[in-house]
Structures are given as C-alpha cells and as structure tokens.
Amino acid sequence: MTTVIKTHNLTKNYGDYAAVNNVSLSLEFGDIYGLIGRNGAGKSTLFKLLMGLTQPTNGDIALFGDPSDSGLRVGRHNIGFMNGPSFFSYLNAYDNLNYFRLLKGIQDKTEIDRVLKLVDLAGVKKPFKSYSMGMKQRLGIANALMGSPKVIILDEPVNGLDPQGIADFRKLIQHLNKEIGITFVVSSHILGELGLMATRFGFIEKGKLIEEITAQELHERTRSSLKIVVDNVAKASILLEEEANTTNFRVFDDKTIILNDYVHEPNIINNLMVSNGITLYQISTNEASLEDYFLNLIGGPSDASIH
C-alpha cells in the first residue's frame, strides 16, 4: 500500500507543555483512519501540524513520500480539511463554494457542480442559513472536495447531527472512500459510529500516539469474552492457568478478569471457581465496545471527555 502521510517523532511544544509528543503515525492510501483521544489529547494540534497551520518543534512529516519543504507545500494542496461548516449565511451552496473556489485559486467553475453532485446538493438554491445540520456538514465536505484532494481530514464532523444524519454522513464518507478513492482522517466523540466507519485507528493520549491498529485487529481484541467478577483475582488467575489450561485472559481490576476462552462454556468456569472456594459475584458474556477498548488502553476513565 502507498503511504500518504507519515510522521516521525512529531512534537509540538507550547512552553513546557507538549501538545503533540513524539508522534509517529502512518496513513495508507484508501484508509479511513479514526483518530481517538480525549479533549486536550492533541488531535487538533496534530491536524494543524499536518496542514501546515503550525510548525513542529521537532520531528518530521512526509506527505505522499516527500518530506522536503517543497514536497510538503505540494502535498498540502492534495489534502482537504473540514472542522466545521463555516459559510456565509445568506449565500446558497453554489455561491458559497464559488467564494472558496476563488480563495483556493481553482480556475474551473465546473468544479463546484462536480462536488455539489457528489454530496447531493446540486440545484439547492436556498440560503445556507436555512439548511439542516446535515446539509451544512455535506456542504463542508463539498468544500473540502474542491480541487480533488487525495486526503481529507475531518475534525468532529458529526457534531450536532441526529442519528439519521450521522448514519447518512457515514454512508457518504464510505461512498467517497470506496468509489472516488479518497483517504480520510476522522476524529469523532461518537466512538460507536467511528467504529462502524474506520478501517484503521490511532489512539492518542496526552499528546502521545499510544497505539495504531486495523479494524480487523480491533475486532479480534474486542470479540466476545467472559467477564468474571470474583473476590480473589490472584487465586482465580492461578486456577485458570493450572486447572483450565488457559492464559488467554487479562486482569481488568482488583475483582474482574476478562477471559477470552470458554465463552460458550461459562458453567465450567463457574464450577471451577465455586469448587475452589472463590466467591463468584458475576460471570457474563462481555463484548467490549470501542470506547471500552480505549478506556482500558489508557487505564480507565477520567473527568475528561472522550473525543
């Protein structure tokens, strides 16, 4: 696969604070890359670095394989960005995009018709202020599509959308990805929706990229398991290893074990624990969500929102 964005030890400091801390990521052609992190984790700063809106303190960026200054300038012309539907309220879709076409230096006016058709806004004459939130977001996508970028970065694109609007937006992104060949980087606080959309995930915490995995790897790691809640985790762990002959489990906290074996035979584990004097508070089938996986990865929830 072709790498379209690659960073190496990318860092952005503000005084003594590292907003982005030694981030090394790779984005492959055809990805829908879900970037997951809490408020203040560094996602927006990372996007600004990729777009050239702020300069790194240390580290390197390569766009489409070229890390040179000229390569970055050319490469950024092939990256679209959307972080909110900011348009003139009194203009319609065509006239708004015509303004941005001129700003971007795009000569061909037919580009406006092309992108409006892609997002199903062709022929819409009413002013932007009367649009639904879904229409506003689609116009934002149309703006990002002008100039035929190979990559589009979406920062919280489903904010304010109702469930149907979110589903429609997901289908649009997947269509543009599969049919037009656009690579996407998406951040969203609605992790369940991101889990349905993304083909790869990056998890960022306190400015550090702590893991990158594919959607298939995530599925394997969050597949059905047994949640076992007991009074003695240490003893239960020994029993699983020595009596049940499995090490395919992890200790989640001081009372909870997540076991990936015996999912369809919980009675065996139940009998094993009870017959060996362990108090079993709960045994149930457990399928972790993307949010569960992320929280487990960073060591549990905090007061900060997940974004």
The verdict on domain 3-219 having CATH code 3.40.50.300 is: yes
Q: Tell me: the pLDDT tens digits for 138-175?
A: 999 999 999 999 999 999 898 888 999 999 999 999 99
Q: Is residue 61 classed as helix, strand or coil in its secondary structure? A: strand
User: How long a stretch of residues is the chain?
Assistant: 307
The verdict on domain 224-287 having CATH code 3.30.160 is: no
Q: Which residues pair with 257 in a beta bridge?
A: 228, 251
C-beta contacts of 190-196 below 8 A and 24+ residues apart:
190/158, 190/166, 191/36, 191/289, 191/290, 191/291, 191/294, 191/306, 192/289, 192/290, 192/291, 193/158, 193/166, 194/34, 194/36, 194/290, 195/34, 195/289, 195/290, 196/170
In this chain, the answer to whether the domains covering 3-219 and 224-287 adopt an identical fold is: no
251: which 2 tokens?
A: 């200790």
Give 15's contacts (C-beta < 8 A, 6+ positions apart).
none
- Domain assignments of the chain as residue spans, ordered by start: 3-219, 224-287
- What distance separates the 2 farthest-apart alpha carbons in the chain? 78
Residue 146 near residue 113 (C-beta atoms within 8 A):
no
Q: Tens digit of pLDDT per residue, the chain (307 long)?
A: 689 999 999 999 999 999 999 999 999 999 999 999 998 999 999 999 999 999 999 999 999 999 999 999 999 999 999 987 789 999 999 999 999 999 999 999 999 999 999 999 999 999 999 999 999 999 999 999 999 999 999 998 988 889 999 999 999 999 999 999 999 999 988 888 899 999 999 999 999 999 999 999 988 778 778 999 999 999 999 999 999 999 999 898 899 999 989 988 999 999 999 999 999 999 998 777 888 888 888 876 654 455 4
Phi/psi at 15 (5° precision) = 65, -125
- Residue given tokens 């699983």 in the structure block: 240
